[in-house]
Structure 1
């Protein structure tokens, strides 16, 4: 059951975009999300699931703990409507509907062109920085009985290191 109850990292990168409308440090990442049977059944019965995507950019320091340069998070809500028989994914002021759970989970597991820091946040060679990301189910947003009932609800990718493009360093 633990294999079924997981979020897997598939790909990702951190890059610095060229100056334009909104220059900065951007993240792209993909995760594969598998819902356990009990979680999927609860979703279809009206329990909304909240997932949080967290990102941290750290500057490596040999003499002290790494310095946190930027931290960002996004919370998304996945729900199912019994009336329309569609899945809804909302967050950051946007809402999308999907005919299948697989489509909704695919979009939920994708982070595209997410601005996480200003262009001035990174200075020096890219080897001096590390980036990490994770997605997890926010159990605190579940109904109280589900928060304590089962390990099926412990869903997280864990922290994953992201590769940083060499062009992230400032000239």
Structure 2
């Protein structure tokens, strides 16, 4: 059964997005539902790492002007397959990946592709804003976006991927965070 890029884009969605006010900030939890584009999955199987970016932007609603951005955070993912060991490796970082090897990166190993992809699709209590920027009496909007980062692919893939729907993966959703009830 062939998979079309357009059909995949239509089935990509944020299944469950929860916002939680904590004592020290605003947390986001989400379950993404998507399948990797066939071209990206094929490249992964050949040992070429794929890069993903998750963005969360918090806007304070204003009636007199455009909404004001109060917080923005980004998380970077690198998923790779090691053909010799037949293991999957997922690296998660708060900064873009570079070849310098510097920075704080969380690394996890998986025995199969399904487990590695499932780990990417779950966000649990990701801190997206500090407590002092979220006003308790104001309405805020959170814009969440998850995408395949083609700019981090090797140069030959970047050239071939431009304008091709087989490399597109974008999952996004916006949700309002109401004012806290008065105590």
TM-score (norm 1): 0.87
Alignment CA distance shift 1:166-1:84 (3 Å): farther
CA drift of 1:166 comes to 5.8
CA drift of 1:165 comes to 6.5
| Residue 142 (structure 2) pairs with residue 131 (structure 1) | yes
The whole-number CA distance in structure 1 between the counterparts of 2:18 and 2:182 is 17
Aligned to 2:116: 104
| Counterpart contact for 1:8–1:31, Cα < 8 Å | yes
Alignment CA distance shift 1:38-1:170 (3 Å): farther
| Residue 161 (structure 2) pairs with residue 160 (structure 1) | no
TM-score (norm 2): 0.82
* Greater Cα offset, 104-113 or 71-80: 104-113
Structure 1: 5+ residue stretches without partners:
none
Structure 2: 5+ residue stretches without partners:
94-104
- The SS at the match of 1:4 is helix
| Counterpart contact for 1:133–1:160, Cα < 8 Å | yes
CA drift of 1:170 comes to 8.2
CA drift of 1:91 comes to 1.4
